A and B are shown apart, each in its own frame.
Chain A
Amino acid sequence: MSRIKSCFERLAQDNRKALIPYVTAGDPSLEVTAAILDAMVDAGADVIELGVPFSDPMADGPVIQQACERSLASGTTLKKILALVADFRTRNSDTPIVLMGYLNPVEAMGYEAFAEGCSQSGVDGVLLVDMPPEETDGIKEYFTSRDIDLVFLIAPTTTEARMDAIAEAGSGYLYYVSLKGVTGSASLNVDEVASRVETIRNHTGLPIGVGFGIKDAESARAVSCVADGVVVGSALVNRIAENADAPGRIPETVAEVLRDMRAAMDRD
């Protein structure tokens, strides 16, 4: 069974929801990212979305754009990120890692080489923002044959007909983008999210994570009441940006945000 699947099953048994933090790998350096990963696990992260930086992150707001810029400036490459995950796996064999990013760095490496690299280093899932299910012909098999989950997005604009196709193509979990916009945009509307998640459940048995617009412990708790997982990105990356001149402080300050969210989500 994939690490992601068993993670969600374990959580369901305990009646808990997944806390899914996102950070951009290599922001501000890969050494700091390694420490952030450990700190996030200690703070209660269940699944980690690790961003692969891209020069032109079209679906991201300024916070994650700048994270990509800092990461690329520090010399981060996809190969080095795979090595980072392999190193993390020497310390942690439970926490699923999902690489999240844009297609072109993967195209440049080659799909088979990338899937094999993921498999070797212990990556569990891949979410490529600009690769809808329609464009996975001839690509999907490289991942499915290696038990690597392909995670897809569902948006507020996604029609019910498309939900079936996305649920069919995806595995691990589905990521519901809670609002129309880029990452780090305005706050989400929990009632609306709840009703959309219910609709999505009619089309899939996969767990549903919700992201975009989760800024603090209370919004994390509100979303955890209606979804299976809570994805938090810009709120953490903001902390990294604020401490760019004192990278030693970054792992703890990121962990602090997550501990608050974890506590709020686990509250009765």
Chain B
Amino acid sequence: MSEQLDFSAFPDARGHFGIYGGRFVSETLMAALDDLEKLYMRLKDDPEFRADFDNDLAHYVGRPSPLYHAERWSQKLGGAQIFFKREDLNHTGAHKVNNTIGQALLAKHIGKRRVIAETGAGQHGVATATVAARLGLECQVYMGAEDVERQKLNVYRMKLLGAEVIPVTSGSRTLKDAMNEAMRDWVTNVDDTFYIIGTVAGPHPYPLLVRDFQSVIGREARQQCIDMTGRLPDALVACVGGGSNAIGLFHPMLDDEGVSMYGVEAGGDGVETGRHSAPLNAGRPGVLHGNRTYLMESDDGQIIETHSVSAGLDYPGVGPEHSWLKDMGRVNYVAVNDDQALAAFREVTKVEGIMPALETAHALAYAATLAQEMPRDKTLIVNMSGRGDKDILTVAAMDGIKF
């Protein structure tokens, strides 16, 4: 880029990243979003709020998460040195909890007794149920009926944590439909309910505040990389569904021009087949779930069904900041198919003894390709955004094993 853009100045005051983002919701929610924005703007630099957040991240989540040099896998691939940012080691097993801790603190400040969430793979649902249990808040989680089936373990975890999981049977019965239902719940119960959105999408200020809460990933990784290798990483790789783990890793290094970045979408059966979840690769801008962003839609503007082996990436939209970063060329967005992701899941589990979530496996599959194109003295960080325990039944079923 010819001139340095101040990435921290976005979104603008109205929640826009260029033409993306914004606040496209029905009138009933406008006041609640205004209140949330004012609250967040007041608290985000408040020393006491920051201290509470950092304290919870340290003592409840277990931060900082390690940066791990995957030496054996790097050697086997024969290219760049691959490091994993171990978000899978967080309490509840994924990066999602960084955000739910932050939003639960906001809910507490604003005095709401009930929280709701949407979830795809169930990781955000579990992370929300967890913080709700800890704060004694009532918690209901909307989850597509298809995802309830393929993520049974997480459904049971949420129940054990005291949350009610509501299967959503409308539309495609996946993450987008869960988000529709959560919005409908919020519009009905807006007085006493805080909606904990799980990704960097939705109406302003959600893309902003989720990014800020997740940016702890990139801040830590940047410093850890300098401490371990003496310099910044050469490349960052993260999977992108809504895109919260990717923004969390990328955002603190957007100003570091030498760091190239790759967001990996779910290619499903292959982008060319149309059966995928890769709006940045094969969609176009539109408006859904409160923001303008790249979407998978028909010529007539109807949202079309998505496909991915990973429930957490099975979403037709993406956070608006990613759309903006794509258009300006700061981040490269690529796609990895189901079978490539499954191969990476098996490979990393065997070679490094770390079982990634199927979502994360998309990033790992691309990282393997990228590393092989880079010299051995270069450094590549993959966001190990979640652990794969929740996916064991899915993979076992593919191996013909039933429990």
The 9 closest A-B pairs by CB, nearest first: A108-B301, A105-B301, A155-B28, A153-B27, A181-B188, A155-B27, A157-B31, A59-B26, A55-B302
* Interchain CB contact (< 8 A) of A158 among B31, B170, B292, B303: B31
Contacts of B354 in A (CB 8 A): none
Cβ of B30 within 8 Å of any chain A Cβ, yes or no, is yes
Known: A56-B171, A156-B28, A180-B188. A132 touches B301 (CB 8 A): no
**Interface residues in B293-310 (C-beta closer than 8 Å to A):** 295, 297-304
Choose one: B24, B188, B302; the contact of A182 (CB below 8 Å).
B188
In the complex, A264 has a CB within 8 A of chain B: no
Complex Cα distance, B227 from A171, in Å, reads 61
- A104 touching B27 in the complex, CB below 8 Å, given contacts A72-B302, A157-B32: no
CB<8 Å pairs between A and B, sample of 15: A54-B301, A54-B302, A55-B303, A104-B286, A105-B301, A107-B287, A130-B25, A132-B30, A134-B14, A135-B22, A158-B27, A159-B34, A166-B27, A181-B188, A182-B188
Contact of B26 among A54, A107, A129, A185 (CB under 8 A): A129
* Complex Cα–Cα for A166 and B304 (A): 32
Report how many residues on chain B are interfacial, defined by Cβ distance under 8 Å: 41
Contact status of A56 and B188, CB under 8 A, knowing A155-B27, A157-B31: no
From A103, which residue of chain B is reached at the shortest CB distance? B287
Is B254 an interface residue when CB atoms closer than 8 A count as contact? no
Q: Which residues of B contact A109 (CB under 8 A)?
A: 300-301
Is A130's CB under 8 angstroms from B24's CB?
Answer: yes
* Partner among B14, B26, B187, B287 whose Cβ is within 8 Å of the Cβ of A104: B287
Q: Tell yes or no: A146 within 8 A of B by CB.
A: no
Report the minimal beta-carbon distance from A189 to chain B, rounded to whole angstroms: 15
Q: Mark B252-289, 1 if CB is under 8 A from A, else 0.
A: 00000000000000000000000000000000011111
Q: Which residue of B lies closest to A79 (CB)?
A: B300
Contacting residues, chain B, for A72 (C-beta < 8 A): 302
Q: Name B287's closest neighbour in chain A (CB-CB).
A: A103
| Bound Cα distance from A58 to B203, whole angstroms | 13
Q: Which residue of B lies closest to A156 (CB)?
A: B28
**B303 with A157: CB separation less than 8 A:** no
How far is the CB of B175 from the nearest CB of chain A, in Å?
A: 12
Given known contacts A55-B303, A56-B176, A159-B31, is B191 in contact with A180 (CB within 8 Å)? yes
Using a CB–CB cutoff of 8 Å, the interface residues on chain A facing chain B are 54-59, 61-62, 65, 72, 77-79, 102-109, 129-132, 134-135, 152-159, 162, 166, 177, 180-182, 185
- Across the interface, which residues of A come within 8 angstroms of B304, CB to CB? 55
Bound CA span A104–B290, Å: 11
Q: Hey, which bits of chain B sit against chain A, CB under 8 A?
A: 14, 22-32, 34, 170-171, 176-177, 180, 183-184, 187-191, 285-290, 292, 295, 297-304
Given A72-B302, A103-B287, A135-B22; 9 other pairs, CB 8 A cutoff:
A54-B301, A55-B171, A108-B297, A132-B24, A155-B31, A159-B31, A166-B27, A180-B190, A182-B187
A56 near B288 with CB under 8 A, answer yes
* Structural contact, A56 and B27, CB atoms closer than 8 A: no
Distance of A197 from chain B, by nearest CB (Å): 15
Contact B24 A185 (CB under 8 A): no
* A180 touches which of B23, B25, B187, B301 (Cβ 8 Å): B187
Chain A contacts for B184, CB-based, 8 A: 58-59, 61, 182
Q: How far is the CB of A5 from chain B (nearest CB, A)?
A: 22
Tell me the bound Cα distance from A181 to B170 in angstroms. Answer: 18
* B28 lies within 8 A of A177 (CB): yes
Alpha-carbon gap, A105 to B26, bound state (A)? 16
Please name all residues of chain A whose beta carbon is closer than 8 Å to the beta carbon of B289 when the two chains form the complex.
56, 58
Q: Taking each of B176, B177, B302, which has the highest tally of chain A beta carbons within 10 Å of its own beta carbon? A: B302
CA distance A10 to B288 in the complex (A): 39
- B189 partner residues in chain A, CB cutoff 8 A: 180
A56: which B residues are within 8 A, CB to CB?
A: 171, 176-177, 180, 288-289, 303
Q: How many angstroms between the C-alpha atoms of A29 and B103 in the bound complex?
A: 45
**Interchain CB contact under 8 A, A130 and B26:** yes
> How distant is B223 from chain A, measured CB to nearest CB, in Å?
39
A44 to B34, CA, bound (A): 40
Q: Once the chains are docked, how many angstroms separate the CA of A253 from the CA of B95?
A: 54
In the bound complex, what is the Cα–Cα distance between A181 and B27 (angstroms)? 11
In the bound complex, residues from chain A placing their C-beta under 8 Å from that of B24 are 103, 130-132, 135
Chain B CB count within 10 A is highest, among A62, A130, A180, for: A130
Given contacts A104-B286, A181-B188, whether A132 and B27 have CB atoms under 8 Å apart is yes
Q: Looking at B25, B32, B177, B292, which has the most chain A CB atoms within 10 Å of its CB? A: B25
Q: Beyond A55-B171, A56-B180, is A152–B299 a contact (Cβ under 8 Å)?
A: no
